[in-house]
Every structure is written in structure tokens, then in C-alpha cells.
């Protein structure tokens, strides 16, 4: 099979926001306890943080980490997680039927962020609580006024404000599973009041309002429009969430799921622009895709874990080669929409549907999905170039709707002017055939191929495990530059990154 991409340095989608490669830590399963925090572990530092874990997080170069949820936040009292640990209450976590010990809270998370080389993205509880509690958390974290909450922060050992820039106004409040579930109008009103109080406390912060939990919601689109009609002038982003799986063991269909992600982005952009038109606003609403990943391997796993216990191991998906391919496709989709998607959080970072896994008391290891994320985060920096793609296609049918034509080639082309290089990220979705790819790079002066990393395996169901990380990217050869054209043959069912030096 043959495919061709045409790009030109003058035709740009957008500069890429580095926050596109962010992560997520929720009080869920072993993400916190036994994940990033495990006092007494051989790798634990003086704060109880696992050094092997935060070194791997640094490998992923995540500029933001969303915290503390997720569903957990919708019944969370943030005050439970500050102050002397021996005085912190144990609470039942109704989101995940667990026991929350509150030994890890806001101050611990801020300290972990500093060590892991990431910045906090804090969600406030707008499920069971409201604007006043959200404002007090901003005051605790960001203010230096000599007020009650800022003085309490000092009392507990932090003199200077944390200066948290990005805040989420709750989580998935459209979902009936959420503590404090509300309809769009009721949520829009409370989100507006919280936004006003939070921004009055610290005008420098940015706010993310809850969009639809998924495209499958019966209120999808209508929810987003109603919420934005209330909050448009006070928020900076609207959130999107999406998870995909291969429950029917149809790999060709599974690898096409990133096209649904593309559709979701385009439809929410349309809703945002509709509300802007209604309000005669010149402001462009941006998107925060702050939960995305593959999630299906661990379905039902929670039944094997005792309810109402601390850090019960749930949602520990073990990823395989085909999962790495789809993660690569989803990263490509996010980059190709960099003009509107400014924040994206892989959900989650450690143990819970995560690229990093740990053994209790044991070692940490990298799942297959770790690698497309790592290399896209490292080299997907700069400007996304607009592509014209000519590729063979195959036909799939999603849960509803007519059959769709899906390109065997998923790709994005990124120009990093500062580094003087172009990165081509490409997935060959064909399960049987190699794909001969030509990339026509107009208006560039090319010096040659820097490197070509490819990731593929004869068994698409194979994965990594503790002590056995054998599915990793390999250095490939054979990519050539001639007359401003890159030529390479992508193996069947492969993820690829080809970097080119620009003179």
C-alpha cells in the first residue's frame, strides 16, 4: 500500500501548548497510596514519595497533573487532607467504595508536583459542596493576604503561596453516577458563582468548566451549550472526556476509535462557537481534554477487591501492543486539533489505567502506552502543520450510524523551529500490510533523517509486565530524504516517529 502527505511550512494548524501532554492523579485505587506515595518502600524519599515513580513521570514530561479527581472530588472535603496527619479523619469514598485515610492531601500533592517536575491542576468539589468551599481552597493555595486560609497554610508549613494557575469547576456533573449530580442549568448557575468568587480571590487563575462526560450522554451538546451560556464570560476552557476499548476483539474497529475523538472535538468546538455567536463574543473558547485513555481490560475487577478498604486495587488495566497503537492515534488527533485543544490529561498516570505500574513494595515499570506518550511529548513541540493526506482506507461501523471510511494512515507533522527539526508521527492501522509513505515537505531545506523509532510486535495482545519490558520502540532504518520528500515504509500495525533535520 502507498500513502502520501503534503505539508508546507507556511500552512500551520497552531502552535502546540505544552499542556497537551499532561497527566492525572485521582484518589482512586492505588494511584496515590502504593502509587506515587508509599512510605516505607525502599524507593520512598523522606516525604514518602516513590522516587522510581516520579523519575518515570519526569520521563513523560507532564507539565500539568490534574488532582484529586475525577469522581472522587465530587464528595471530597479538601480540609480533611491538610494539617497534622494524626488528626486527619478517615472518610468513606462513595465514588469508588473505598476508605480514604487522608494521609495524602493538598500540601503533599504540591510537594510531589515539585519533585515530579509537573504543575498542579486542581479540581474543586461542585457536587456536594459549592462556591464558598471552592473559594477557600483558592485562598489556601494562592493568597498572601494574612487571611484565615492563607494563614492556615503558613501554620502548616508553607510560607509562600502555591500559585496554582489552572482549576477545574467540578467533574462530570452531568453524570447520574456523580455525587451531587445536577442538570445543566443548576450546574451552570453554581459554576458561574464559583467562578466569580474564585477569580475575585485570584484574578490570574484559569478555569475549566465541566462539559459532557462523553459523546454517549443523552444530553451531549445540549449540556455544553447550556453550561456555556451561563459561564462563557468567566471560564477559559470546557472539558471533554473519552475512553475507548476493544470489548468485541475487533482490532481494526478499535484502531479507528480516534476518529470518534476527532468527531467529539469538532462537535464541541461547534457548540462553543454557537454560544460565542449567541453572546456576540469575540472570545474563543478553548478545550481541555482532561480525561482520555483506553479503559476496558479491568472491567469488573473491582468485584475481586474488598469494598470500603483503603487503596483497594481497581482499574489496573494491563495494556498491550494494540493499545499503544491507539494511544499513538489519539495523540495524533489531539495534536491535529491544537488550535482548540490546549490542555489534555492522560487518565491516569500511575496504576489506575496508567502508563506506569508499581508492585506493592516492589518495582515500577512502563506499560506499552508509556512509549508513544513519552516520545510524542518529547518531540511533538512546536507548530502542527496542516496536512493533505492521500491514503488507502478501510470500512468500519461504530455502535450507531452508517459505515465509515477510515484511513489506514493516522499522522501529524510537527515543525520545531527552535530545535531545527520536523517530527512525523504516523500509525499504520493495517494489520497485514506495510505502508509505503511519502511526505512532501514544501518550503523546507532538509539535512537528513535524525532518527526513526518504530513500535510493533507480531502479537498485538502482548504487553509488558514487572521486570519484563520487552515491547518498546526500536530504531529503524531505511528512511530517506530526496528532493524535499521523506520516504519510509511503515510496518503493518506500527507506531512511528521520524525526526528530520531542517537546515
Reported as a single tens digit per residue, the pLDDT across 402-450 is 899 999 999 999 999 999 999 999 999 999 999 999 999 988 999 999 9
- Name 415's bridge partners: 383, 422
- Are 447 and 12 in contact by the 8 Å Cβ rule? The answer is no
Q: Where are the alpha helices (DSSP H) in 202-299?
A: 222-231, 251-254, 258-278
Q: How confident is the model at residue 191 (pLDDT cuts 50, 70, 90)?
A: very high
Q: How confident is the model at residue 81 (pLDDT cuts 50, 70, 90)?
A: very high
On the question of pLDDT at 400 being above 80, the answer is no
- CATH 3.20.20.80, applies to 17-379: yes
Q: Could you tell me the pTM of the whole model?
A: 0.96
Distance CA 406, CA 395 (A): 6
On the question of pLDDT at 53 being above 90, the answer is yes
Each residue's pLDDT tens digit, 443-456: 899 999 999 999 99
Give one DSSP letter per residue of 15-35, joined into a string.
EPPGGGGBEE--SSTTSTBTT
E strands present in 110-204: 119-124, 166-169
**pLDDT score recorded for residue 399:** 80
**pLDDT score recorded for residue 225:** 98
Average pLDDT over every residue of 335-341: 98
Each residue's pLDDT tens digit, 95-113: 999 999 999 999 999 999 9
**pLDDT score recorded for residue 165:** 98
Distance CA 53, CA 356 (A): 8
Break the chain into its structural domains and give their ranges.
Answer: 2-9+384-502, 17-379
Per-residue three-class SS string for 338-407: CCCEEEEEECCCECCCCCEEECCCCCEEECCCHHHHHHHHHHCCCEEECCEEECCEEEECCCCCCCEEEE
Average pLDDT over every residue of 140-144: 96
**pLDDT score recorded for residue 361:** 86
CA angle 491, 494, 500 (to 5 degrees): 80
* Order of strands, sheet of 480-482, starting from the edge strand that comes earlier in the sequence: 388-390, 2-8, 435-442, 485-490, 480-482
Each residue's pLDDT tens digit, 267-287: 999 999 999 999 999 999 999
Average pLDDT over every residue of 169-174: 98
Half-sphere exposure of 268 (CA within 13 A, CB side): 32
Distance CA 221, CA 172 (A): 14
Place of cell 523522606: 46
- Are 97 and 107 in contact by the 8 Å Cβ rule? The answer is no
C-alpha distance across the termini of the chain, in Å: 31
**pLDDT score recorded for residue 402:** 84
Average pLDDT over every residue of 293-318: 92
- Are 81 and 153 in contact by the 8 Å Cβ rule? The answer is no
Q: For all residues of the chain together, what is the average pLDDT?
A: 97
Q: How confident is the model at residue 141 (pLDDT cuts 50, 70, 90)?
A: very high
Contacts of 279 (CB under 8 A, 6+ apart): 229, 232, 233
On the question of pLDDT at 236 being above 90, the answer is yes
**pLDDT score recorded for residue 280:** 97
**2-9+384-502 CATH fold:** Immunoglobulin-like (2.60.40)
Closest by CA to 374, choosing from 466, 467, 472, 459, is 472
- Active site residue ranges: 172, 291
**pLDDT score recorded for residue 303:** 80
**pLDDT score recorded for residue 194:** 98
Q: How confident is the model at residue 461 (pLDDT cuts 50, 70, 90)?
A: very high
- Are 364 and 354 in contact by the 8 Å Cβ rule? The answer is no
* Portion of the chain with pLDDT greater than 90, in percent: 95
On the question of pLDDT at 401 being above 80, the answer is no
On the question of pLDDT at 249 being above 80, the answer is yes
**pLDDT score recorded for residue 458:** 94
Average pLDDT over every residue of 71-99: 97
The C-alpha torsion from 412 through 415 and 420 to 421, rounded to 10°, is 10
Each residue's pLDDT tens digit, 355-364: 999 998 899 9
**pLDDT score recorded for residue 492:** 98
Distance CA 13, CA 380 (A): 13
Amino acid at each position: 500500500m502507498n500513502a502520501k502527505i503534503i505539508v508546507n511550512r507556511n500552512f500551520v494548524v497552531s502552535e502546540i501548548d505544552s499542556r497537551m501532554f499532561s497527566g492525572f492523579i485521582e484518589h482512586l485505587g492505588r494511584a496515590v497510596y502504593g502509587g506515587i506515595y508509599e512510605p516505607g518502600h525502599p524507593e520512598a524519599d523522606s516525604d514518602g514519595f516513590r522516587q522510581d515513580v516520579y523519575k518515570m513521570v519526569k520521563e513523560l514530561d507532564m507539565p500539568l497533573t490534574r488532582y484529586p479527581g475525577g469522581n472522587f472530588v465530587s464528595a471530597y472535603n479538601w480540609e480533611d487532607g491538610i494539617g497534622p496527619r494524626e488528626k486527619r479523619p478517615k472518610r468513606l469514598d462513595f465514588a469508588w467504595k473505598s476508605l480514604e485515610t487522608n494521609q495524602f492531601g493538598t500540601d503533599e500533592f504540591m510537594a510531589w508536583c515539585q519533585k515530579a517536575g509537573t504543575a498542579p491542576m486542581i479540581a474543586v468539589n461542585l457536587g456536594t459542596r459549592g462556591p464558598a468551599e471552592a473559594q477557600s481552597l483558592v485562598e489556601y493555595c494562592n493568597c498572601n493576604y494574612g487571611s484565615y486560609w492563607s494563614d492556615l497554610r503558613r501554620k502548616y508549613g508553607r510560607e509562600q503561596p502555591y500559585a496554582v494557575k489552572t482549576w477545574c469547576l467540578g467533574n462530570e456533573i452531568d453524570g447520574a453516577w456523580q455525587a451531587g449530580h445536577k442538570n445543566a442549568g443548576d450546574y451552570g448557575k453554581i459554576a458561574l458563582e464559583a467562578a466569580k468568587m474564585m477569580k475575585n480571590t485570584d484574578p490570574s487563575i484559569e478555569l475549566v468548566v465541566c462539559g459532557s462526560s462523553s459523546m454517549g450522554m443523552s444530553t451531549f451538546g445540549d449540556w455544553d451549550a447550556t453550561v456555556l451560556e451561563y459561564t462563557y464570560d468567566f471560564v477559559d476552557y470546557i472539558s471533554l472526556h473519552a475512553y475507548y476499548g476493544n470489548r468485541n476483539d475487533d482490532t481494526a474497529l478499535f484502531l479507528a476509535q480516534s476518529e470518534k475523538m476527532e468527531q467529539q472535538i469538532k462537535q464541541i468546538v461547534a457548540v462553543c462557537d454557537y454560544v460565542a455567536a449567541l453572546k456576540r463574543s469575540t472570545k474563543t473558547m478553548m478545550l481541555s481534554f482532561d480525561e482520555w485513555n483506553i479503559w476496558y481490560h479491568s472491567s469488573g475487577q473491582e468485584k475481586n477487591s474488598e469494598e470500603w478498604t483503603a487503596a483497594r486495587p481497581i482499574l489496573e488495566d494491563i495494556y498491550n501492543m494494540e493499545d499503544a497503537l491507539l494511544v499513538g492515534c489519539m495523540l495524533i488527533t489531539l495534536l491535529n486539533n491544537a488550535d482548540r485543544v490546549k490542555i489534555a490529561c492522560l487518565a491516569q498516570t500511575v496504576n489506575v489505567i496508567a502508563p506506569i505500574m508499581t508492585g506493592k513494595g516492589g518495582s515500577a515499570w512502563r506499560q506499552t502506552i508509556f512509549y508513544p506518550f513519552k516520545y510524542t511529548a518529547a518531540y511533538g513541540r512546536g507548530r502542527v502543520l496542516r496536512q493533505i493526506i492521500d491514503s488507502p482506507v478501510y470500512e468500519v461501523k461504530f455502535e450507531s450510524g452508517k459505515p465509515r471510511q477510515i484511513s489506514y494512515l493516522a499522522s501529524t507533522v510537527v515543525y520545531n523551529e527552535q530545535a531545527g527539526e520536523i517530527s512525523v508521527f504516523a500509525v499504520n492501522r493495517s494489520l497485514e500490510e506495510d505502508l509505503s509513505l511519502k511526505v512532501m515537505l514544501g518550503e523546507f531545506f532538509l539535512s537528513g533523517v535524525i532518527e526513526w523509532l518504530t513500535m510493533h510486535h507480531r502479537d498485538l495482545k502482548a504487553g509488558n509486565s514487572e521486570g519484563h519490558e520487552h515491547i518498546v520502540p526500536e530504531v529503524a532504518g531505511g528512511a530517506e530524504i530526496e528532493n524535499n520528500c521523506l520516504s519510509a515504509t511503515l510496518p503493518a500495525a506500527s507506531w512511528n516517529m521520524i525526526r528530520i533535520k531542517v537546515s
